Structure 1
Amino acid sequence: MGGDVAEPVTPPDGSVLVLGPPGSGRSWTLQVLASLRQGATLRVDGLDPPDVDDLRERLKDPACLSTVVVDDAHLLAGTAVEDLLLDHATSTGADLLVAADLESAAGSFRGLVPATARARCAVLLQPEAPAQGGVVGVQLPVGDLRVPGRGVLVRRGRCTRVQVVSPPAAP
C-alpha cells in the first residue's frame, strides 16, 4: 500500500534492493516481493550461507535463472558466496532481490548491494535521514512512524511512501 491515499502499489519488477535497520521488516518485505515473482527463485540467507560447492551446483540448474533472493546480504560481503551470486546474475541476467542493513549498505562499493542499487529500485524501510537514500541516488522523505514494513519505495528517482502488507491470496 502506498501514496497519499494508501492505494495498492504495483510491485517493482527487475532487481530490487531492500534496506533498513534490524527489525524494520526487511526479511518480510523480501519474502513478499519474492512471492510476487514468476519462475523459480534461488534463496540465500546471509545468516546461514550455503557451502560454496553446493551453491555452485545449484547455480547450474536452469530453474535458478530467473531471480536470486538474498537476505542479510551485508553478511556475505567479500565472500566467495557473494562472488558466485554476482557472477550468476551477471552471466544469466537474473534479477536480484537483495535485503541488507541500511548502515552497512551505505559504505558498500562492491558486491551484491551496489550491483542491485544500479537498478535504482529499492524499498528503504524506516529511514531516519533524507541522505540515507544516497545508495539509490535520492533524498528520502522522513518522519513516518517507525513500524515494520513502513518505508519508501524508490523507482528511478521517484519516491512513494509505502506500508508492506501481505499479498492477496491466490484464487
Structure 2
Amino acid sequence: MLRAVARAALERGWHVHAIGAGLADLADHPGTGTVVDRTDARRTARLLRLLAGHDDGQARPGGLPAATGRRTLVVVDDVEAVRAALSALGNGAGGDVLADTLADSPVAFALAGSGPTVAGLAAHVGVRAVLASRDRHDDVSLGVPTGLAGQGGPPGRAVWLGPGEPVLCQVVLPDDDPGVPADAAAAEQPADAPVRLAAVPERVAGEALPQGAGAVVVGAGGDDAGPVALAPGGGVLVVGPPGSGRSTTLRLLARHAAAAGALRGVIARDGSVGDAVRAVAGARVTVVRRFTPADVTALLDEVAGTVPAAAGGERPVVVVDDLDQLAQLCVLEAERLAALCRDDVALVASSTTASAAMALRGPLAELRALRRGVVLAPAERGSADVFGHELAWLTDPGRPRAGRGVVVEGARLVPVQVARAP
C-alpha cells in the first residue's frame, strides 16, 4: 500500500523519501530522494531532522522542500521498528524524532504499522486505512467499526477511516513503471533534485581517494559519502578509545605532511607510524620510538633548530602518537612541546578520548583549543567534551566500527569513515 501511495505522489510531481525495507525500487525515479533502511538510524534521523529544519552542525544539502518548492512525501514502513531503531540515537532522544517531524514539518507522511497506536503516533495521524481480516475481534482492536469488522480476506481489502463515514475499499496495485510528469523533468537538474543522503561506506581504501598538496583527505562520508578533508596547516587532534583507528588516522596525516615536505619529526612507539613516514620521506625525518626524556629532548632540539623553515611556507609539523602517555612520562618535554605549538610548530597527535576530554593544560589542551581533528568512536563517553560539540546525532548506534568517526573543524561536523592507509 505504501508503494501505491508513493507511486501516486511521484506521478503528480512530488518528491518522495522512503524509510524501511522493501522500498528500494522507488529509488530509480528522478523524483525520489533518500531511500534508507530502518536499520540505518543515523541516516534516518538526519533525513527527518533536515526536514524539520535542524542541521546538527552539519552543512545543509540542497534539495530540501524549502529550496525546491516541491511538495514532499515521506513513506515509513514498519513504523514501530523504525521508532525503536531511532531510540538508540541521541541518548534516547532519537525516539522522538519522528513525532517531532510529524508535528513541526510541512512534509506529508504515510506510515505503515501493525498496531492501533501507530507506534504512539496516533495523535499525529489523520486518515487511516486498516487492512481487514476475517476475524472481527482483531479488526475491532485495530479501530475498525463493528459493522465492517471481519469483512477482509482478499489481499488489499481495507477499511478507510477518514473524516466521513468508514468505507470498505480495495487497495490499488502500484504501477511498476510510473510516468514522469512534464514538470518533474526539472527534478533531474541539480537545483531541483530531492535531497539524497548516501550511506557512509563501511570501508574506504586510501588509494581510491584524491590527494593533493592542499587539504588532506582522511576518508569518505558526509551526506554524499564523498571525500572528507581537513584544511592544510595547523594542528590536528585524533581521539578515540583503543582499537578505534587512531594510529591508522595518524598514519594518513603523517604521510601527507611528509609528502608535503613539512614533517620534521615523529614520536611514536607504534612502529607502523614511523614506517609509514619512512616510506615517503626516507631518513630525512627523525623518528623517535621510545618515550624517554633524552630521546624526546633530542628531537625537540632538532625541530627547534629548523623553525620556521618548511616547504612551501607551511608550519613545521611534529607527529605524536599517544600524546596523553607522552605527557605523563615526559612532563617537562611535553610542556616544551606545548610551547612550540603556541609559536611555530603544528602538532598532529593522537590520544584516548578520556584523556583529551580532561586535559586542562599542556599540549593536549593546546590542541583541544584549536577545535580541529577527528573524533573516533563518537559514542564513547567524553567525546562531546573534547571539542565542545554534541555528536550524538552523528553517531551510528551499536558496536563501534574501526575508523568510523566525526571530523571536526571549528563549527563544521562531518561523519566519516577513515581510509585505510595505502
What range is the shorter-chain TM-score in?
A: 0.7 to 0.9
- The 2-side partners of 1:137 and 1:29 are apart by 21
Tell me which residue corresponds to 2:370.
Answer: 119
Matches within 5 A, 1:7-86: 7-13=226-232, 14-37=234-257, 38=260, 39-45=262-268, 48-50=290-292, 51=294, 52-62=296-306, 66-78=316-328, 79-86=331-338
Of the structure 1 ranges 143-152 and 27-36, higher mean CA displacement relative to structure 2 is found in: 143-152
Rate the CA distance shift 1:95–1:4 in 2: closer, same or farther, 3 A. same
Rate the CA distance shift 1:95–1:131 in 2: closer, same or farther, 3 A. same
Gaps of 5+ in 2: 1-219, 271-289
Does 2:385 align with 1:143? no
Report deviation, 1:130. Answer: 7.8
Report deviation, 1:159. Answer: 1.3
Q: Which amino acid is the alignment partner of residue 161 of structure 1?
A: P
Rate the CA distance shift 1:137–1:58 in 2: closer, same or farther, 3 A. same
Rate the CA distance shift 1:130–1:107 in 2: closer, same or farther, 3 A. closer
Of the structure 1 ranges 138-147 and 2-11, higher mean CA displacement relative to structure 2 is found in: 138-147
Report which of the two has the higher share of helix. Answer: 2
Task: Report the secondary structure of 1:9's partner residue.
Answer: strand
Rate the CA distance shift 1:149–1:23 in 2: closer, same or farther, 3 A. same
Question: Superposition RMSD on alpha carbons, in Å?
Answer: 2.3
Match for 1:90 among 334, 342, 347? 342
Cα distance per residue 1:85-123 (max 9 Å; x no partner):
11222232x211110000121211111111011111120
- The 2-side partners of 1:76 and 1:86 are apart by 12
Does 2:3 align with 1:3? no
Of the structure 1 ranges 116-125 and 8-17, higher mean CA displacement relative to structure 2 is found in: 8-17
Q: Which amino acid is the alignment partner of residue 43 of structure 1?
A: V
- The 2-side partners of 1:133 and 1:12 are apart by 22
Of structures 1 and 2, the one scoring higher in RCO (CA 8 A, sep 6+) is 1
Matched residue pairs, number? 167
Report deviation, 1:131. Answer: 5.5
Task: Report the secondary structure of 2:244's partner residue.
Answer: coil
Cα distance per residue 1:28-56 (max 9 Å; x no partner):
10110122222233111267224244234
Gaps of 5+ in 1: none
Q: Which amino acid is the alignment partner of residue 59 of structure 1?
A: V
Structure (1 or 2) with the larger CA radius of gyration = 2
The percent of aligned pairs where both chains have the same amino acid is 33
Tell me which residue corresponds to 1:158.
Answer: 412
- The 1-side partners of 2:357 and 2:383 are apart by 7
Report deviation, 1:157. Answer: 2.1
Q: TM-score, normalised by structure 2?
A: 0.37
Counterpart contact for 2:244–2:401, Cα < 8 Å: yes
Counterpart contact for 1:69–1:97, Cα < 8 Å: yes
